[in-house]
A and B are shown apart, each in its own frame.
Chain A
Amino acid sequence: MEHKGINLTLKVWRQQNTNTAGEFVTYQVKDISQEMSFLEMFDVLNEQLIQEDKEPIAFDHDCREGICGMCSMYIDGKPHGPWQANTTCQLHMRAFNDGDTITVEPWRAQAFPVLKDLVVDRTSFDRIIQAGGYVSVNTGNAVDGNSLPINKNDADASFAAAMCIGCGACVAACKNSSAMLFLSAKVSHLALLPQGEPERQSRVMNMVAQMDKEGFGACTNTGACEATCPKEISLSNIARLNQEYLLASLTSN
């Protein structure tokens, strides 16, 4: 273990609220241990700002172990920063060198308005789920869990799609701000299981309609979403979504 302290220049997006214009503000931080996480480096910067009687930078974070999906920083032009398959909270300062300048912005998308500094409003994702991202089963309706055997490969594929943490990095990475990877992960999770079968067609139609209504862009198969996804959700889910959507459109009344 090396305790190496590095000095950095940070260009951070500051914005008072949704209705005001924002701007980049430059800060210096000194002697940052490379064992820190990126968010701990922000903690240090915020403590420094408080001591200087300035307002600390607002940013979203909670579990700090890469699973809640709350953290959301656009670091040097990449959602969640330079490491592959990683969230901002799990990015560590070993990724940077002494003297680096790091640019930090919020997610940028029409459907994710900035609330303050690096915090955006992602409730559009919740509304997409409300449109059909569930199985309509009330508590108490269930039969015995083992009464419905499910092919292991389907169960595993469903799980791989269900690992999505809803962070929104896919939207932030997309030049069109499309939410297709997020939506396709949910559609795949449920379409691959027999439990999702009865509502299969209405689900995909309603969720896509809601996505469009929220102002997310269209998908042009660039694949930036897959490349940036912290949980490595596969682009093949989008293919499955398109297939499900086509089938539903052709057979719906």
Chain B
Amino acid sequence: MSTQKMHIDSYERNWMIVSAVLLVLFATAVSVAAFGLGIQVPAPEQRVDPRTVATDPNSPWSNPGLREVAPGKYDAYILARAVPTWEYLPKEMTIPAGSSVSFYVTSSDVQHGFKIQDTNANFMVIPGQVSKLTITFDKPGTYNFICTEYCGSGHGVMYGAITVTP
């Protein structure tokens, strides 16, 4: 009973080797993109109290908007909310081409999403957490940002726009 050896057919062995090599290749590609090219996912930034984040005068989200922190460098404090209505504050922003914008997004009620079309910015917005991602806008145009997580009946109308001027 203890003499059985594991029998693997040669075709099957080759298939398993090819599968393993493929998966290692994929994992390598993802790792190179993450650590070589710096295409990274969001990291913990800051925690806030969702009950007061929009009203506390010391909270940047009590006065959401775009702040220029250095020439061509901006911080965008954005509040996502479903109550009293589904919207981002601010809804519209304008920046010159070549600007680098760090987005700091949080929610004062339920979970939301934040996806800027035609960019790599796409993340969850969770009450109590601040989501941060930095994007450089080189091409002029209008970039819609849309809500990508169900947040109630108005989820589908929740969006805003960034205008990048030449």
Q: Are A and B part of the same complex?
A: no
Which residues of B line the A interface, CB within 8 A?
none
